[in-house]
Amino acid sequence: MIPLSWYLILAAGLFCLGLYGVLARKNAVAILMGIELMLNAVNINLVAFWRYQEPLDVAGQVFAIMVFAVSAAEVAVGLALVISLYRRRRSVVAENMDLLRW
Amino acid sequence: MTPIQALFIITSVLLLVSGFMVVTARNLVRAALWLIAALFMVAVVFVLLDAGFLAVVQVVVYIGAIAILFIFAVMLTRRVMQESGPQSNSWWWVAGLFSLLLFFGLTWIILGWGGAAQHAPRVSAADLDNIEQLGLALVDPAGYVVPFEVASVLLLAALIGAIVVAWDRN
Amino acid sequence: MGFFNDPIHFIAAWLEGLFTGWGLPAGLINVILTFLGVFLVANFGMLYVIFLIWVERKLAARMQDRLGPNRVGPYGLFQTIADIVKLFTKEDTTPEGADKAVFNIAPIMAVVSVLLIWAVIPFAEGWIGTDLSVGALYIVAVGSFGIVATLIAGWSSNNKFALLGAFRTVAQLVSYEVPLVLSLMIPVLLARSMGIGSIVEAQTNWYSIFFFMAPIAALIFFISSIAEVGRTPFDLLEAESEIVAGFHIEYSGAKFAMIFAAEFLHAFTISVLTITLFFGGWQGLGDQYPLVAWVWFMVKSMMAYFTVAWIRTTLPRLRIDHMLNYNWKFLTPLALAVLVVTALLDWLIVNGFGTTETIWRPAILFAANVLIGWVTYALLRRRAAQRPARLVVGTPRPVARPPQPPAQPEPEAAAD
């Protein structure tokens, strides 16, 4: 069958891809997409550990459901902020949002 | 190699390829579509992990709502229909290096941990994906009712916040 | 097992014997038989659409006091095939500047999202593609693929009208998912399971079909599903007089045929879902024989499809703000109220009587639903009385009258 390490390495790979997306992209929406990938990697980790360590306890699944709720809330507010920003500055390039720089 | 292992390899290759295309696509609508593919592959991984309910919830929440939000946001914040310009900022190679180092570090730690080679314990299917047990745990005072209620308040706050932030005051 | 008791297993066993005789390994035989099952279910849907389009056109015609297609074949039965031939031989255009890959994927996603629903529908006892334990939620999940397909179809056409149509379509589809899911939870609640097969089997007698236990939920589910498909009265988005066909303006030929077929199949699928969840599915007289159960299934779903076509032909189109108001200010609160009341009452009844099979269960729940309906009606009437409808009359215009004919002299005495 499939050893646990395969799932963990898959989650680590997805997490690093999401991290690259957050650090290297200009568009704010693309940065949020990277954050989504990272949250999904975390979910894969949680569910893998649930299945391999304590499959009879629903705690792992409940934790994954909480992550679903948190990521949905974060995307909604994040995209609302991006759209509001676009209305003001006509641009969503993250580098140009520099009003607070000294 | 058993069929399940082959299926896992195919799914993870597709997932990592979709993830790579999400973070490197120039056309943001294409990036959003690759995101949908990646989210669907994560749902397949959940099915492989015997979490069928979570797989369906993943499709409903992520693809049915969050991905559509992304596509809307991309379409509403573009100035022209076509794509324009490179999408990576000036220190993308530092980010790439850092991500690669992090990946190798994590893999080394995972492979060094003894428990990582374990196989899935055999549990009967009836005990495994028990939705009734999950539902009872979420409303049980000795269970997870407090995180459940906090998550509801969080979603309510996000709902109100998103509407207020994106309200067009003109 | 004779052929009539269990046709599928009979045929499967015969095929298995045939393949083993040819020397194929057992795993491969399993895979082949599974693929054969999938092929049959998917093709049944797509081929049945041909008949459905004819039924719809005939029904609409008769309700509008005309004949409908009657030239091509007896009673016009081959009209749809002629239409298909026409659509497939049309030029397959792609607008300039469109995103070709995305443009081509959209119709495929639209069709796939409807066909995937057929995987969990029970045609008869045991005749189900796969009895998922989360079948009801799976249906909602698969519907979201259709929403994404609509959105990218509108975007990739490089056409502002298509994009606008796609935005409005997605707003409608996402809004109407809320009462759909809420009313879908009521059969799940009453059957204590999310699996569609279990929901059908929980409706054991003719008086315990879930329509009697939750008529309001059935109506909300039916209305929300019609809105999800995008048929009249919710078809503002593809009305020719409004936005020139909406999100699928730029599609012609085979791709348009796919979108068109997907819409009709979706309309049939929601009629099937309504009767499966609320009217007992394949159950009827003599349903121990799967073929008889399948006949009951088809009869009931055609009756529901008749209702869908009837509503389409009769009701006028809703405006988009009326549509969204109707959803958020009426259907969603009503669905929430019915869900809470049904949950509470059902727990009390089952705990009070100790079993789910008493006749008091449908009786009390039906009475509760009637009460909720009456309260809703009273509230609506009171609200309508508070805002009297203003009759908008213009200033009276002079009515055109022909001038009086000049007075004729009396005719002379009868001329000789």
- C284-335 per-position pLDDT tens digit: 877 778 888 889 999 999 999 999 999 988 998 888 888 899 999 999 999 9
Query: What is residue B133's predicted lDDT score, i.e. its pLDDT?
Result: 87
Query: What pLDDT, on the 0 to 100 scale, is given for residue A100?
Result: 78
Identify the pLDDT of residue A93: 82
pLDDT value at residue C245: 58
In this prediction, residue C27 carries a pLDDT of 79
The pLDDT of residue C358 = 80
Flag whether residue C171 sits within 8 Å of chain B, measured between CB atoms: no
Nearest chain B residue (CA) to A22: B23
Mutate which of C102, C104, C134 to disrupt the B interface (most B C-beta within 10 Å)? C134
What distance in Å separates the CA atoms of residue A51 and residue A53, rounded to the nearest whole number?
6
Q: Which residue in the set C102, C134, C155 is minimally distant from B56, CB to CB?
A: C134
Cα distance from C152 to chain B (closest Cα, Å)?
9
**pLDDT for position B145:** 93
For residue B165, give the nearest of A2, A15, A84 by CB distance: A84
The answer to whether C225 touches C273, Cβ cutoff 8 Å, is yes
What sign does the dihedral B15-C170-C98-C107 (CA atoms) show? positive
Minimal-distance CA residue of chain B relative to A23: B95
Residue B37: per-residue pLDDT: 94
Stretch C393-412: mean pLDDT, rounded? 73
Condensed to tens digits (0 to 9), the pLDDT of residues C180-198 reads 999 999 999 999 889 999 9
- Nearby residues of C404 by Cβ (< 8 Å), 6 or more positions away: none
Beta carbons within 8 Å of A89's beta carbon, 6+ residues apart: A96, A97
Q: How far away is chain B from the Cα of A42, in angstroms, using its nearest Cα?
A: 11
List CB contacts of C399: < 8 A, sequence separation 6 or more. none
SS3 of residue B47 by DSSP: helix
SS3 C405: coil
Of the candidate ranges A59-68, C113-122, C396-405, the one whose mean pLDDT is the lowest: C396-405
What is residue C139's predicted lDDT score, i.e. its pLDDT?
93
Give yes or no for B27 touching A (CB within 8 A): no
Are B36 and C97 in contact (CB < 8 Å)? Answer: no
Give dist(CA C305, CA C299) in Å, integer: 10
Residue of C nearest to B3 (CA): C27
C-alpha atoms less than 13 angstroms from C-alpha of C352 in its C-beta half-sphere:
11
Residues in chain C with CB shorter than 8 Å from the CB of B71 are 148, 151-152, 155
Chain C residues with beta carbon closer than 8 angstroms to that of B67? 148
Q: What is the pLDDT of residue B60?
A: 92
Whether residues C147 and B82 touch (CB distance < 8 A) is answered with no
For C6-51, what is each residue's pLDDT tens digit?
A: 777 788 888 888 888 887 777 788 888 889 888 988 898 888 998 9
Residue type, C210: F
- Give residue C67's pLDDT band: very low, low, confident or very high (50, 70, 90): confident
Closest residue in B to C181 (Cα–Cα): B60
Q: Which residue has the tokens 């008749």?
A: C306
- Looking up tokens 């009767």 gives C275
Residues of chain C with pLDDT > 90, as a percent, come to: 32
User: Using CA atoms, how far apart are residues A14 and B13, in angstroms rounded to an integer?
Assistant: 11
Chains that touch C (3 or more CB pairs under 8 A): B
What's the whole-number mean pLDDT along residues C109-113? Answer: 91
The answer to whether residue B5 scores a pLDDT higher than 80 is: yes
The answer to whether the Cβ–Cβ distance between B71 and C147 falls below 8 Å is no
> How deeply is C271 buried, as exposed, middle or buried, from its count of CB atoms within 10 A (0-12, 13-18, 19+)?
buried
pLDDT at site C166: 83
Which residues, listed in sequence order, are joined to residue A25 by a DSSP beta bridge?
A: B88
Task: Tell whether pTM > 0.80.
Answer: yes
A43-82 residues touching B, CB cutoff 8 A: 43-44, 47-48, 50-52, 55-56, 58-59, 61-62, 64-66, 68-77, 79-82
Contact yes or no for B63 and C194 at CB 8 A: no
Over 90: is that where the pLDDT of C105 sits?
Answer: no
Residues 6 or more apart whose Cβ sits within 8 Å of residue B87: A25, A26, A27, A30, B24, B25, B26, B28
* CA–CA distances in Å: residue C177 to residues B65, B125, C223, C245, C286: 11, 31, 11, 23, 36
Q: What is the mean pLDDT of residues B71-82?
A: 74
- B-chain CB neighbours of A90 within 8 Å are 79
State both tokens at A20: 């690259």
Cα distances (Å, whole numbers) of residue C364 to C153, C342, C351: 47, 10, 14
For tokens 């081509």, name the residue: C104
Q: What pLDDT was estimated at residue C236? A: 67
B89-140 pLDDT tens trace: 778 889 999 999 999 999 999 988 877 777 777 777 666 778 888 888 998 8
Q: How far apart are CA C317 and CA C325, in angstroms?
A: 14
- What's residue C276's pLDDT? 92
Comparing alpha-carbon positions, the chain B residue that sits nearest to A42 is B42
Phi-psi category of residue B85: left, alpha or beta, with phi > 0 → left and psi -120 to 50 → alpha? left
Tokens of C297: 């299934």
**Are A70 and A20 in contact, with CB atoms under 8 Å apart?**
no
Cα C130 → chain centroid: 21
Cβ(C286)–Cβ(C292) under 8 Å? yes
- Say if residues B62 and C141 touch (Cβ distance below 8 Å): no
In whole angstroms, give the CA distance from residue C139 to residue C132: 11
> Cβ A3–B38 below 8 Å, yes or no?
no
Q: Does the distance separating the beta carbons of A80 and B144 come in below 8 Å?
A: no
Put simply, whether A99 touches B (Cβ < 8 Å) is no
**Partners of residue B88 on adjacent β-strands:** A25
Q: Kindly determine whether residue A34 and residue B23, on different chains, have CB atoms separated by under 8 Å.
A: yes
Mean pLDDT (chain A) is 90
Q: Decide if C195 contacts C348 (C-beta within 8 A).
A: no
What are the chain A neighbours of B8 within 8 Å (beta carbons)? 2, 6
Q: Point out the residue among A12, A17, A77 whose CB comes nearest to the CB of B165.
A: A77
Chains that touch A (3 or more CB pairs under 8 A): B
Note whether B88 contacts A: Cβ–Cβ < 8 A: yes
Query: Rg of chain A's alpha carbons, rounded to an integer?
Result: 17
- Per-residue pLDDT tens over the stretch C322-372: 889 999 999 999 999 999 999 999 999 888 887 777 888 888 999 999 999
Please tell me the distance from the alpha carbon of residue C222 to that of residue C380, in angstroms, as a whole number: 21
| Long-range pairs, C349-356, Cβ under 8 A, ≥24 | C356/C192, C356/C202
Hey, which residues does B107 pair with through a beta bridge? none
Q: Does B132 touch chain A (CB under 8 A)?
A: no
Does C148 lie at the interface with B, CB-CB under 8 angstroms? yes
Cα of C141 vs its chain's centroid, Å: 16
B76/A75 touch (CB, cutoff 8 Å), yes or no: no
